[in-house]
Chain A
Amino acid sequence: MTDDEARALIRTTLHQVAPDADLDAVEPGETLQEALDLDSIDFLNLVTGLCESTGFEIPERDYPQLSTLEGAVDYLTGLGSAG
């Protein structure tokens, strides 16, 4: 998965989970949960959406890597190569 694909996937998934959240408002380095007011259920729904789209199972211990937009993009692009 390329960087752009990962970014687009996060955007689409996030829109499904929280249509009222604005991804453009997220500053680099800011955590998604804080910037977008995601509660734990929103976040779990986001991770579920990502798992379903990529076909990879994301364990709970990897959640911290997904906390920022950049972190999530890196994580997703690395999924195939690591595996």
Chain B
Amino acid sequence: MGDFTMPSLGADMEEGTVNQWLVKPGDEVHRGDIVAVVETEKSTIEIEVFENGVVDELVVEEGETVPVGTVIARLTSETTAATVHSPVLRHLAEQLHVDLSSVTGSGVGGTVTRADVERAGAARVEGAPPGTRPVPQRRGQRHRKAAERATGRTRSSPYARRLASQLGIDVAAVQGSGPGGSVVEADVRRAAAEPAGTGGPMAASVEAAGEVAASSQVGDKQAAMRQAVGALMARSKREIPHYYLSTTIDVAAAVTWLERANLERPVTSRLVLPALLVKATARAVAKVPEMNGFFVDDEFRPSAAVHVGVAISLRSGGVIAPAIHDVDTLALDDLMRALRDLVVRARSGVLRSSEMSDPTITVTNLGELGVESVFGVIYPPQVALVGFGQVGDRVVARDGMVGVRPCLTATLSADHRASDGHRGGRFLAEIDRLLQEPETL
């Protein structure tokens, strides 16, 4: 199994160029490893692999441009860990002490069948020294634990597995808290909230990829980027019935809290206002879920996860909006780290595939460049974009007194097919409310 195809790294991507392979045939790869650097019209992106296996063949050579979906490499699956086996199969494997990840599937699409497990079980017994022949046991806590140790398999609920695959979490690496030590929803959400591991075997490749990006033909790239942004925005304006709302938010509490917080912090862990704005937006989604998700196949599909696309303008022209994952549950410090990391990598043109393809809502912060308010264009298939303008002192009447307070204008562009203005207003009000309590963000 394992055709590795040119991924779609955004609704507007039609083709990509394999700039560089970071693996060669025979290399072992693990889920999440960066295996290639792909250049699109908009950016240079590190491509992650989503299963464990061994690289069989690189089908597309470096420098070649192919449409999305084209097979660019073939992998031999070392395990079928990404596959969800049926409960019956798992139970059988447990009884026969067979490690499912080591079974080669003979079913449709390489799926493991009952016969495969029985064959593996029989082979295991034949190969075992005399007296160690395993006896199928009744289900039970002790047996279950033993089986887990023997097979290294993790018990997990179907929903936990589905959620984990959506969030890019490896269930086997999650500590289970459910019955019998099984991994349940809460465990996966907890794991998703933890900061992503840094480095890894492929970390060194980031620099190499940066070189590749720098050496590419800058002029062509800019023109292509302009075209890509244009195509996507034209599609958005053609298809999405936008509505726009704006409100003025008093950010005195947020600014004061930040100043105080930063006094105690070394420069490496200081916070900036955009982090609070992004966090407040992500949290507000809980109250108004119609803002978060995708409009596809004529219907709005809300997303349980909140992946905030952060619009980053490139000085060379163009704009990209890579995602920070699960912002609603991310601690502020982790969010800040993610934000800094993302901005630097966006600037140097190296982003990861998972960051490009799945933002569920976007925040744009043009205000830092001096504009008072920004009414943005929604990134299809998302349904909302929140804009924050420049922070400036404004004359405000409050409790019958006139005062001067730092304020900003927050705007919402939202898809009328997914929500109405009333809900949009509620959303902005919730962002405002959250920003008045920065310590809770």
Contact = CB atoms under 8 A, between A and B. Distances in A.
Nearest to B347: A18
B313 interface: yes
Interface residues of A, number: 23
Contacts of B274: 39-41
B80 interface: no
A20 B316 contact: yes
Contacts of A21: 315
Contacts of B369: 37, 39
Interface string B339-374: 110011001100000000000000001001110000
Interface string A32-48: 00101101111011011
A45 B259 contact: no
B266 A45 contact: no
User: Which applies to chain A's interface (DSSP): helix, strand, loop or mixed?
Assistant: helix
A19 interface: yes
Contacts of B210: 19
Nearest to B317: A20
B347 A60 contact: no
A58 interface: yes
B315 A20 contact: yes
Given A37-B369, A57-B267, A58-B267, A42 B343 contact: yes
A51 B267 contact: yes
Nearest to B315: A20
A42 B341 CA distance: 10
A44 B214 contact: no
B343 A45 contact: yes
B262 interface: yes
A17 B267 contact: no
B316 A44 contact: no
A3 B317 CA distance: 33
A19 B347 contact: yes
Interface string A52-63: 100001111000
Given A17-B347, A45-B344, A48-B267, 4 more contacts: A20-B316, A20-B347, A40-B368, A44-B340
17 contacts: A19-B214, A20-B347, A34-B370, A36-B315, A37-B315, A39-B369, A40-B272, A40-B274, A40-B368, A41-B343, A42-B347, A44-B267, A45-B344, A47-B267, A51-B266, A52-B268, A57-B266
